[in-house]
Amino acid sequence: MFRKLYLVFGAGVLLFYTASAWFGWEIANSGSHSRLGVPFIYTGFRGGK
């Protein structure tokens, strides 16, 4: 059961990656309106002034 779940999970990750590449989604982005960005790898932050 876990093996199948793992394979489904792996296939999901692959599918998501492929979709991201095809549609130009960036999981780590600096956009103000992005719903995809991951805060902790927010690339716009370069430290304080």
Partner 1 sequence: MSVLQANCPSCGASIEFQAGSTIVLVCPYCRSAVARTDRGLNDLGKVAEIADSQSPLKLGLKGTWKDIRFELTGRAQYRHELGGFWDEWYATFSNGWVGWLAEAQGRFYLTFFQPLAQGTTLPSFAEIQLGQFVNEVPSQSPLMVQEKGAATTAAADGEIPYQFTPNEKVQYADLAGKGGSFGTIDYSSDPPWVFVGQQVTLAEIGLGDAKPVQRDARKVSAAAMGCPNCGGPLDLTVPDQSERVTCPNCNSLLDVNQGNLTYLHALNPPPAEQQFLLAVGIEGTFAGDVKYKIIGAMIRSVTIEGIKYFWHEYLLYNPMIGFRWLVHSDNQWNFVEPVNPADVEQVAYIGAGAVVKYGGNSFKIFQDAPAVVEFVKGEFYWRVEQGETVRAADYVSPPKMLSLEMTGNEMNWSLGTYMTNAEVEKAFTVADLPKPWGVAPNQPFTGRFYYTWGFLPLLLLLVVAIFMIPLTGLTKTILNQQIVLPPMTNPQTPQVVFSQPFPIKANGNVRITANAPLNNTWADLDVDLVNDQSQEVESVNVPISYYSGVEDGESWTEGDQSQDAILSSLPAGQYTLRVEGTWENATQPMSVSVKVEQNVNRGVNFCCAGVVLLLIPLLNLFRKISFESRRWKDSMFGSSSSSGSSDSDDSSYSSDD
Cα distance between residue 27 and residue 19, in whole Å: 12
CB of 7: closest distance to partner 1 in angstroms? 8
Cα distance between residue 8 and residue 48, in whole Å: 42
CB of 16: closest distance to partner 1 in angstroms? 7
Q: What residues from 15 to 34 belong to the interface with partner 1 (CB under 8 A)?
A: 16-18, 20-34
Say how many residues touch partner 1, by CB under 8 A.
37
Closer residue to partner 1 (CB): 23 or 39 = 23
Cα distance between residue 33 and residue 6, in whole Å: 32
